[in-house]
Amino acid sequence: MVERSDPTRFHLLQLKPREEKRLLAGHLWVYSNEVDNRKTPLKRFKPGQPVMIVSSSSRVIGTGYVNPNSLICARLVTRSLETALDGVLIRQRLGQALALRQAIYPEPYYRLCFGESDGLPGLVLDRFGHYYSGQITTAGMQRFQAEIENALEELLQPRSLIWRNDVAVRQLEGLSPENTRVFGQMPEQVEVHEAGLIFQTSLIQGQKTGWFYDQTANRHRLAKYVAGADVADLYSYLGAWGLRAAQAGAQSVVCVDSSPTAVEGVRHAAEANQLSDRVAACKADVQAWMQQALEAGRQFDVVVLDPPALIKRKRDQRDGQRAYQRLNELALRIVRPGGVLFSFSCSQHLSRDELRKTINRAGMRQGIPLQVLENLQQGPDHPVHPAMVETEYLKGFVVRRLAC
């Protein structure tokens, strides 16, 4: 690890001619085929090793870390040679991230750090009051685990932290998938507060880091559509969309998810928030459930379609788009004329424009005319890096089904 801002302490990683353009425009990733392996062979580096990234003409681009075993073989952390890659930088970047969230959110429930967008590539941290859940997904950031934990203790004095490092992407970095508890005991269930509602989630066994904070801002925008409405919350997880709809005046809500744990969580949250009279939870495959609703002639004023990522790899894009189209065709058919569909994709390999076209094709195939009312994206605790479209992973639209 670099102890001070001394350029001689970094090993050079040199790019091929004309491969620096994207980095000079602000991007932070170096791909293995962009490296000049004759001058700086990747095989000589160790995973996570600090490097100075330079152009073919030896122009310094910045410093970061390398992993010779990954397609994304290096990640830029700072463009200043006066800044060391050390615990001081970790604390400064986390402090900067914390200041943004504290300025925006009235309660301490949010994503505290969002990787590249917060200047800490490979690090995700979610906050649940005094409890924290995180993921380290790169070898370079793994080297700083102790520094991250020290910075958290200094800034926030957590009661507990769990590393949910059981994600497949770590294997691409040569890291083992594992979960580790830090800072004392993590309760089996922790609270999430959102807009006056209280949910219970497991940071030990829940999906990803325990909660989908990326949709919090979009759920705020639901209220104006649901007064007196019948609402379907599809792929509901713990029912955040559905309960927000009921809180905002929906007359009936059904939350559909294939996970029995999630469905039980919806029921518990509905009871705890005194919304059980209007919120039902259904364990079912979402596509099968929509097909049954169609056969029964059942329709809704508002449908929320928030599926998991259906395109895991770029080569799966065509099949994934077909899957999104099938889902949107079914969802549009169970929307009453005049009603609205909140349709999302969290697949990095599906662009916003492609999602819009997919929804349009779904409407055209079913003879359903549409209006786009709103464009949606992840909330400000998931900031978008202006040079990295990869950080704008959540795309969504509010579309209205016209009668004719």
Dig out the tokens for 260 from the structure. 């029995």
Please say whether the beta carbons of 255 and 282 come within 8 A: yes
The question of whether 282 is a catalytic residue gets the answer no
Q: Determine the Cα–Cα distance for residues 13 and 173; give it in Å rounded to an integer.
A: 18
Dig out the tokens for 395 from the structure. 């795309």
Confidence (pLDDT) at 3: 39
Confidence (pLDDT) at 6: 54
Please say whether the beta carbons of 224 and 249 come within 8 A: no
Of 73, 255, 346, 404, which residue is the catalytic one?
A: 346
Dig out the tokens for 202 from the structure. 């497991």
Q: Determine the Cα–Cα distance for residues 79 and 97; give it in Å rounded to an integer.
A: 18
Kindly list the averaged pLDDT for each block of 10 residues, start to end, along the chain of length 404.
51 97 98 97 95 96 96 96 92 98 97 98 97 96 96 96 90 88 90 97 86 96 97 98 98 98 97 98 98 98 96 88 97 98 96 97 97 98 97 97 91
Whether the model clears a pTM of 0.85, i.e. scores above it, the answer is: yes
Of residues 293, 210, 203, 201, the one with CA closest to residue 254: 293
Q: Measured in whole angstroms, how far is the alpha carbon of residue 263 from the centre of its chain?
A: 22
What are the structural domains, with CATH classification, of the chain?
7-78 (2.30.130.10), 87-182 (3.30.750.80), 212-401 (3.40.50.150)
Of residues 128, 104, 125, 124, the one with CA closest to residue 115: 124
